[in-house]
Structure 1
Amino acid sequence: MASGRLIKFVVFELLEFAAFSIPTLVITEQFATAYQGTRAGSDNTHYWLIVSCSIAYVALVTLLIWVPVKVILHKKRYIYRKIKGWRPVLMMCVVLTTLPCLTFSIAVTEVQKSIKGSADVLPDMLPDLPVSLVLSSLIMVDIIEKLRIYPLRGSQKSSENGHIHSTSLQHIKTVTEQVRQSQGNAASPQAANSTQVSQPSGAMTRSQVSVFMGPQEPSCDSGILRIMSRRDVRAELFLWSFLLWSDTIEMVRVAGHPNVYKSSWLYPVYIFSFISLLRITFTPQNPLLNSLSVLLQDLPFVFVRLGLIIALGTITPVLGLCKNILVTLSYIYFNYLTRLRFFSAFEMSPF
């Protein structure tokens, strides 16, 4: 009988391969259908030629790239340990699947425009299946890669609360020691000349203590509250993986609006949406992930959404624009501007 680890490995590999191959086949088939509509007569030669080329493409990249990389990562563990900061499986999905799918999605609209030389022949709304299939496949591969290190059976308690609690206690302890040290220095004869300096420092530290000591969290140790308060890392992976891409999903959904895909705005929307997807190739704990998220998603989306609102109206939510602006400004301010002398809140005047 096969072990649970082997079953988990086989299921994960099959799901990842399905997410790698199916989107390309589906979207290429839609392109073949659209192209067949431009041909006169009932000859389906061009349709089956495009479909067979898509099957050949998937088979070729599977045999030459997907399978060898998977075998190397599974057999040569020392090579896998040397890979830091990025994930090869997600990189293959983004480059070999997502990029061709977005290209063929744009090609479908261009082929339909060429039927009569006008955008009026296009349908009122683009079908949602291709875009949802591509993004769902990427998110599924992302979840699987994160879920590999966890067992699928048994309880797995989240250590996030304990980590936050211990970190907060360490901060409070450190700040309390600083308060006592400042009071001791102020009372000593050797620090008599620096009383005016140490006193504001003590006041500043007390304000930091009040920041760390926020509202107390409720205790759910019994009854139904204990059942409702259970948290598992594996379940939270699914939640945060979908929430992480909500902004990109909303941006791609805007591309289905007739005023967008019937105009040249379709290109920047798809291009910058694909650029934002490049974040998925980095590891979740990569120190550069926050800055890359701002540079690859929020900052470009500010200009794209602002241009869409100015040119076509509020077809994209204003809330999304506010989110991108606030995330970009807050990142720049708290990470860089607060380090400057002018923006230092705790700087003491020399006068």
Structure 2
Amino acid sequence: MASGKLIKLIVFELLEFAAFSVPTLVVMEQFATAYQTTRNVSEPTHYWLIVSCSIAYVASVTLLIWVPIKVILYKKRHLYKKITGWRPVLMMCVVLTTLPSFSFSIAVTEVQKNINGSADLLPDALPDLPVSLVLLSLILVDIIEKIRIYPLRGSEESNEDGHIHTTSLQQIKTVTEQVRQNEVSPASPQRANPIQVSRPLGAVTQRHVPVLVGPQEPSFDSGILRTMSRRDVRAEVFLWSFLLWSDTVEMLRVAGHSAVYKSGWLYPVYIFSFISLLRIIFTPKNPLLNSLGILLQDLPFVFVRLSLIIVLGTITPILGLCKNILVTLSYVYFNYLTKLRVFSTFEASPF
């Protein structure tokens, strides 16, 4: 009977391969349908030719790139440990799946314009299935790569809670040991330092560090509230993996608006949405991830959303624009401007 680790490995690899291959096949099939309609012929020759090319593409990149890299990562663990700060599996998905899918999604729109002869005869909205499938597949691979290190059975405490608990115990133990040491072995005259250094009257003998006091968090030890307050890092992986890309999802939803895809604004929306997805290549705890989030998503989205609102009206939410502006300004202020002398004074909240 197969072990649990082997079953987990097989299921994860099959899911990742499905997320790697299915979006390209679906988008290419949609492109083949639109192109076949432009031919105005009954024979589906062009349709099956494009579908065959898509199958050949997926088979080629699978056999030449996906499978060899997967085998190397699984067999050569010492090489895998040398990879720092980025994830090869997500890079393959972004470059070999997401990029072709976005390109052919734009091609489908251009083909539909040729079918109708005018952009005014296009449907009011583009189908949401291809774009949602591409993003869902990318998020699915991201979740699998994050949750791979955790067991799927049994309880798992949050690392953050464990770190806080361990740190608090260490601090309490250190303070207790110092107090007991001072009480048990007081300083004797023989061990006292005979040299006394005189200090000026204005010298500061103790540095007062301001204490940051926040709202008190509740803790529940029993009852239904304890059950509701449970936290598991594996469940939070699913939550934050979807919330992380909500801004990109909203931007791609705007691309399906008739005023966007009937005009040239479709290209910058897709281009900057793809650029924002490049962050998924980096590891979740990469120190560069915050700055890359500003440079690859929030800052470009400010200009794209502001331009769309000025030219086409409020087809993109004002809340999204405010989010991008506030996140960008807060990052610059707290990370760089507070280092200047004018903003360097530390102020603790009185509450």
Q: Distance in 1 between matches of 2:46 and 2:346?
A: 71
Partner of 1:88: 88
Q: Distance in 2 between matches of 1:280 and 1:327?
A: 19
Partner of 1:136: 136
Q: How does 1:53-72 map to 2 (within 5 A)?
A: 53-72=53-72
Q: Distance in 2 between matches of 1:264 and 1:172?
A: 63
Partner of 1:193: 202
Q: Distance in 1 between matches of 2:264 and 2:150?
A: 45
- Whether the aligned pair in 1 keeps the contact of 2:272 and 2:300 (CA below 8 Å) is yes
**Cα displacement (A) at 1:93:** 0.2
| Relative contact order, higher structure (CA 8 A, sep 6+) | 2
**Cα displacement (A) at 1:170:** 8.7
Q: Distance in 2 between matches of 1:299 and 1:106?
A: 24
- Whether the aligned pair in 1 keeps the contact of 2:158 and 2:232 (CA below 8 Å) is yes
Q: Distance in 1 between matches of 2:341 and 2:153?
A: 53
Indicate whether 1:73 and 2:73 are aligned: yes
Distance 1:82 1:55, change over 3 A: same
Indicate whether 1:284 and 2:284 are aligned: yes
5+ residue gaps, structure 1: 175-187
Distance 1:67 1:301, change over 3 A: same
Root-mean-square deviation (Å): 2.2
**Cα displacement (A) at 1:117:** 2.9
Q: Distance in 1 between matches of 2:54 and 2:285?
A: 36
**Cα displacement (A) at 1:123:** 1.1
Aligned length: 326
Q: Distance in 2 between matches of 1:171 and 1:265?
A: 57
Task: Name whichever of 154-163 and 62-71 sits farther off.
Answer: 154-163
Partner of 1:5: 5
Partner of 2:180: none
Q: 1:82-126, CA deviations, whole angstroms, 9 ceiling, x for partnerless residues?
A: 100000000000000000000000000001111243112211110
Higher Rg: 2
Q: 1:199-245, CA deviations, whole angstroms, 9 ceiling, x for partnerless residues?
A: 9x63xx2xx21x2x322211211011111111111111000000000
Partner of 1:336: 336
**Cα displacement (A) at 1:293:** 0.6
Question: What is the TM-score when the length of structure 1 is the normalising length?
Answer: 0.88
Q: 1:325-347, CA deviations, whole angstroms, 9 ceiling, x for partnerless residues?
A: 00000000100110011211249
Letter in 1 for 2:47: Y
Indicate whether 1:121 and 2:121 are aligned: yes
Partner of 2:305: 305
- Whether the aligned pair in 2 keeps the contact of 1:112 and 1:121 (CA below 8 Å) is no
- Whether the aligned pair in 1 keeps the contact of 2:247 and 2:320 (CA below 8 Å) is yes
Q: Distance in 2 between matches of 1:113 and 1:326?
A: 38
Letter in 2 for 1:278: L
- Whether the aligned pair in 1 keeps the contact of 2:31 and 2:105 (CA below 8 Å) is yes
Distance 1:168 1:262, change over 3 A: farther
Distance 1:73 1:116, change over 3 A: same
Distance 1:276 1:169, change over 3 A: farther
Q: Distance in 2 between matches of 1:345 and 1:311?
A: 43
5+ residue gaps, structure 2: 175-196
Partner of 2:273: 273
**Cα displacement (A) at 1:166:** 5.9
Q: How does 1:123-272 map to 2 (within 5 A)?
A: 123-164=123-164, 190-194=199-203, 202=208, 205=209, 208-209=210-211, 211=212, 213-272=213-272
Letter in 2 for 1:80: Y
Distance 1:171 1:272, change over 3 A: farther
Partner of 2:101: 101
Letter in 1 for 2:278: L
Distance 1:138 1:267, change over 3 A: same
Q: Distance in 1 between matches of 2:222 and 2:322?
A: 41
- Whether the aligned pair in 2 keeps the contact of 1:294 and 1:328 (CA below 8 Å) is yes
Partner of 1:179: none
Q: Distance in 2 between matches of 1:135 and 1:88?
A: 18
Q: 1:160-210, CA deviations, whole angstroms, 9 ceiling, x for partnerless residues?
A: 134346668999999xxxxxxxxxxxxx96141345xx79x63xx2xx21x
Q: Of Structure 1 and Structure 2, which has the larger fraction of its residues in helix? A: 1
Please give the secondary structure, in 2, of the residue aligned with 1:248. Answer: helix
Q: Distance in 2 between matches of 1:172 and 1:153?
A: 33
- Whether the aligned pair in 2 keeps the contact of 1:254 and 1:260 (CA below 8 Å) is yes
